[in-house]
Amino acid sequence: MLFELPPRVVADPRGEERTLFASSQSGQPSPVEDHSLEEAEGSTRYAPFKPFIGVWLARAGQGSLEMRLAWADNAEVLQLSTGNIQEGRRTPLTNGFYGWNGAKKEFDFLGTITDGRLRNGIITIKGSTMTDEFTTTAPDGAIQNGRNITTKTSADTLLQEGFFRQKNGEWKKVSEQLFERSR
């Protein structure tokens, strides 16, 4: 090991304490347990996201589409990760996070797509429906506006509808996925 970090106990945003830089008996750093899918305190402004947190799977062709929404370590950001699962292998699609923008008084999403597009948008939640109004910007500067409407239809089911704005300004539905809770 190049350097040795002494163990340090810190207050976790979830109200727990955890030891950072702890070494196991073998002298290797001990992994920190992942609590991202557990209920986190977080700020009360994140309460509307609670029903959407989890790992969700939808059938997609010969495989599945996976969507993970989990608490980040600081419990003030939610992380989104999507991927295609084919023959037991996961290929990432989108990675990003939801965060509160205090200046705008809204939730923003910022992420990237594996083809290099930047994806940013505004998230609103009303009842059991989360709406994501977003823009994707390609590496060459091409911009496309989209909208995902995700509705919690039962405790373990989400319906997600995807739309893209057409040149005439109208929205065209381009996808519909029924996600079931995996965990």
List the domain boundaries for the chain: 44-181
Residue with token string 């750093």? 29
pTM of the model: 0.74
Say which residue the tokens 């945003």 belong to: 13
Task: Determine the Cα–Cα distance for residues 129 and 109; give it in Å rounded to an integer.
Answer: 16
Q: How confident is the prediction along the chain (183 residues), in pLDDT tens digits per residue?
A: 344 444 444 444 445 544 444 444 444 444 545 555 555 555 688 889 989 999 999 998 888 999 999 988 888 899 999 999 999 899 999 999 999 999 999 999 999 999 999 999 999 999 999 999 999 999 999 999 999 999 999 999 999 999 999 889 899 999 999 999 998
The type of residue at 44 is T
Class of domain 44-181: mainly beta
